[in-house]
Structure 1
Amino acid sequence: MSKVLFLSDPSRADVSPILSMANEMITRGEQVTFFSSDEFKAPIEQIGADFKAYNQELNIFQGEKAVEDEEKPKSGLISALLEPMKFIDDILVQLRGLKFDYAVFSPAYPYANIITQLLDIPKTEQAVYN
């Protein structure tokens, strides 16, 4: 039985195809840990995967919030671009102590190469076709 890490942009276009793949892998006895946003928690847990949520303040996939005060920290994509290690470190902290045989992610997933290198696991890109 393999342990598989799924990294997903939390959009239906990215989650749906790899959620189907994760479901099939679970049916075959694989253990799946699936990173996404809270809005996809129910469908991910429904297939039997272990759900992990992006830290809301670091969630690069959420829409940019209006910043009223220039001194407030930037969130979402801007924060990830300026300080990518905060985003990556959050994922690594949540995965501390877990070992994976490989990772699956969409081609558009940012930092997948860095995350898989730091975890020392092979990666598989899942092409998404519309």
Structure 2
Amino acid sequence: MSRVLFLSNPYDSSASPILGLANELINKGQEVTFFSSDEFQGPVEGIGADFKPYKGDLDIFHEKKSDESKSGLISALLEPMKFIDDIVVQIRGLKFDYAVFSPAYPYANIITQLLGIPKAQFGVAS
């Protein structure tokens, strides 16, 4: 049995396709840990995956909430380590065989290098 780390951008066009893949892997006996935004907690847990929320705003299309906050895009570009560190802290002590991520996921290369695991990009052809 493999343990798989899923890294999803927090919007439906990114999370939904790889959620289907995660479901198929779980049905085949794989263990899945799935990172996304809080709005996907129900669907992720509904397929039997371990849900992990992003603490920061990774939605690069999200509007600013106030003049003091940065948009997801600006924050992702200027403060990448805050997101990467959050993920690494949440998975401390867990071992993964590989990671699957959505095409636009910004930190997959860094995270998989830190963990020393292979990665697979999953996209849907239009």
| Fold shared per TM-score above 0.5 | yes
Q: Residues 42-121 of structure 1: matches in 2 within 5 Å?
A: 42-55=42-55, 58-61=56-59, 63-68=62-67, 72=68, 74=70, 76-121=72-117
Equivalents in 1 of 2:13, 2:70: separation in Å? 26
AA at the equivalent of 2:110: I
What stretches of structure 1 of length at least 5 have no aligned partner?
none
Residue 14 of structure 1: aligned partner: 14
In 1, are the aligned partners of 2:10 and 2:58 still within 8 Å (CA)? no
TM-score, normalised to structure 2's length? Answer: 0.92
CA 1:41/1:112 → structure 2, altered by over 3 Å: closer, same or farther? Answer: same
Equivalents in 2 of 1:90, 1:64: separation in Å? 22
- Is 1:32 matched up with 2:32? yes
Equivalents in 2 of 1:101, 1:47: separation in Å? 20
What stretches of structure 2 of length at least 5 have no aligned partner?
none
Q: Cα RMSD between the aligned structures?
A: 1.4
CA 1:74/1:26 → structure 2, altered by over 3 Å: closer, same or farther? Answer: same
Equivalents in 1 of 2:23, 2:71: separation in Å? 32
In 2, are the aligned partners of 1:4 and 1:33 still within 8 Å (CA)? yes
Q: Alpha-carbon deviations, 1:92-125, whole Å to 9, x = none? A: 1111111100000112110100010011110001
Task: Report sequence identity in percent.
Answer: 68
Equivalents in 2 of 1:103, 1:18: separation in Å? 12
SS at match of 2:120: strand
More displaced, 79-88 or 43-52?
Answer: 79-88
Q: Following TM superposition, by how much is the alpha carbon of 1:78 offset from its aligned partner in structure 2, in angstroms?
A: 1.4
Residue 2 of structure 2: aligned partner: 2
SS at match of 1:103: strand
CA 1:92/1:2 → structure 2, altered by over 3 Å: closer, same or farther? Answer: same
Aligned pair count reads 125
Q: Following TM superposition, by how much is the alpha carbon of 1:64 offset from its aligned partner in structure 2, in angstroms?
A: 3.1
